[in-house]
Structure 1
Amino acid sequence: MTTQPDHHGHELVPRPERTPAAVRVALAPLAPHRLSEMEQHKEQALGAALQDGKLGHLQYWLTYWQAQVEIERRPGLRSRYQAALGAVQSTTGSDAPEFRAARAELRAVESEARQAVSA
């Protein structure tokens, strides 16, 4: 694992290397309840890759979970994500301005996390 600067506060764990094992090890102390989701998603990606012969499914899976770890390991980013997720879940429908604003914030947090792990 490598330590990268966090622009939103301290980091809970170092940023993991880009390997499935390293990402899993980093996720375990941060969000152990998501490990089964990660494994299920990996099995789906592996099945899709075997079915169509494209590694892109596995690359997407790894990038997605690296970004999820990035969100979980940075308290400021995690707070923004949780607040936006809560706002999405508490709105009355997808036409509500609050819903659209919260979805935009979720996308912004996810984008920031993907950019951080791609740098």
Structure 2
Amino acid sequence: MTTPPLPPGEGALGEAVIPRPDNNFPALRAALARVAPTRLPELIAERATVFTMATRSSSYQPIALYQLKWATVIEIERFPALARRLRAAEHAARSLDRDDAAWRTAMDEIRAITDAARRAVLSPSGLCG
């Protein structure tokens, strides 16, 4: 976990297994079905909660945050090596003692990967740009 959070260049991340989807529910659902199908029930269940929150608050913000969250998840999963790095860091964070310096390293890796993926989703050039 001492590798840089997101090495520059397409070769370091490998090829994306699917193109980045549009930021709407049907496109996100279809993309997730291809890169992480086991997470589809979570996406769908969370959608119902988010739409209820949006209705109650008369705000689209819960929906926008939901779409950003899932677009970020998909952005990571589009690059299998990056997804493996994230899972390894998550496993380390769950299994290490919080006093262990490796726990902080794992948490830093998780944050770096998710922050970079979020920025990529929000940027036209993406992770490989």
TM-score (norm 1): 0.88
The aligned residue for residue 99 of structure 1 is: 103
Aligned-partner Cα distance in 1 for 2:82–2:45? 25
Q: Which amino acid aligns with 2:99?
A: D
Unaligned runs of 5+ in 1: none
Indicate which of 59, 62, 66 corresponds to 1:57: 62
Query: Any residues of structure 2 matched to 1:20-99 within 5 Å, and which?
Result: 20-92=25-97, 94-99=98-103
Distance 2:83 2:116 in 1: 11
Q: CA deviation at 1:51?
A: 1.1
More relative contact order, 1 or 2 (CA 8 Å, 6+ apart): 2
Shift of 1:70: 0.6
Q: Which amino acid aligns with 1:105?
A: E
Whichever residue aligns with residue 42 of structure 1, its letter is: R
4+ runs deviating over 6 angstroms: none
1:9 to partner: Cα distance:
0.8
**C-alpha displacement of 1:103:** 1.1
Q: TM-score, normalization: structure 2?
A: 0.82
- TM-aligned CA deviation for residue 95 of structure 1: 3.1
Instruction: Find the counterpart in structure 1 of residue 126 from structure 2.
Output: none
**Cα RMSD between the aligned structures?**
1.5
**Which amino acid in 1 is paired with 2:25?**
P
State how many pairs are aligned. 114
Structure 1 position 105, deviation (Å): 0.8
List alignment gaps of at least 5 residues for structure 2: 1-8, 124-129
* Map of 1:8 onto structure 2: 13
Q: Deviations over 1:46-78 (max 9, x none)?
A: 111111111100000000000000111112321
Instruction: Give the Cα separation in 1 of the matches to 2:56 and 2:37.
Output: 30
> What letter is aligned with 2:76?
I
Counterparts of 1:102 and 1:31 in 2: how far apart (Å)?
A: 22
The 2-side partners of 1:19 and 1:113 are apart by 17
